[in-house]
Amino acid sequence: MRLDKYLSEKTGFSRNQITNLIKNGLVKVNQKAITKPSFKVSDNDKIEYETKTFEDKEEIKVDFDVEIIYEDDDILVINKPSGLVIHPAPSVKEATLVDWLKSKNITLSTISGEERHGIVHRIDKETTGALVIAKNNESHEFLSAQLQDKTMGRIYLAIIDLPLKEDCEIDRPIGRNPKNRLKQAVVTNGREAKTRFLKLCGNNGELIACKLFTGRTHQIRVHLNSINRHIIGDTLYGAKEEQRVMLHAYILYLIHPKTKEKMLFVANLFDDMLEKIDIICKGDKNEKLNKKYIINRFDNFSDYRVYT
């Protein structure tokens, strides 16, 4: 029998929890550490495991709040502000979204480990918008499966420096930039990546909508850079204006893990991005930001219930 399956049956822990223990070197077979969940165990093997303990950390002060778009017993959908890191890491000194969730005593899934409770997917620090949090392990597993089969996704709004020539779809592989480890790039041996871009309004700078068909790191930014377009504020990929990156996860759609209801969430834009849109779109702003107008240009979401 597989090691992860055997331990899960014997301990009552979920397969995901056991997999994390194995990959962290906390499981031994016949006194030898095993790091492959698929390792086959045999009769008379001596199996030992330990649960990971964490040192008490100095409490981090959480002096901010986050807008909640939707909440029930299984999921929480928030509108992430700019500058907020999703989860703790050795290089992160300030309070994170996970710290905020814990300060509110919100029940969270534990599949992703102590530092990433509840976190199913991420948004870059400077990017704003819709993010779903799992409040239990069953919801986490269901949402993670949706990420894989693309039944859960997001539609972004971005302000770019030069207008697109036309609506377009970019299907180019993305991988680590060989010249700069902080960046990603379009590379021949990269992973499959596809993004659709739609023009909304503006000439001196342009508001566009973007839909991801894959979830690569910096995907929207890299694909735009490959056609010599840059998101305002994205100096890492060539933008000249130093401010926060004007990228917002405007719409999040998913299937509820328990009720199986098709749900669509709209995350309101923050003031700094709205001010930019006012300048470049002028009288077209309200029409072009209409959620139905944007949604219908990408796909048919008529059977989704909308939450704002």
Residues tagged active-site: 124
The amino acid present at 204, given as its one-letter code, is: N
- Which of 40, 44, 51 minimizes the C-alpha distance to 13? 51
Amino acid letter for position 297: R
* Residue 94 phi, psi dihedral angles, 5° rounding: -95, 170
Q: 45 and 29 in contact (C-beta within 8 Å)? A: yes
Residues 6 or more apart whose Cβ sits within 8 Å of residue 292 = none
CB 170 within 8 A of CB 194: yes
b/e for 6-43, b at 16 or more Cβ within 10 A?
bbbeeeebbbbbbbbbbeeebbebeeeebeebeeebee
3-state secondary structure labels for all residues of 181-246: CCCEEECCCCECCEEEEEEEECCCCEEEEEEECCCCCCHHHHHHHCCCCCECCCHHHCCCCCCCCC
Whether the Cβ atoms of residue 225 and residue 216 lie closer than 8 Å to each other = no
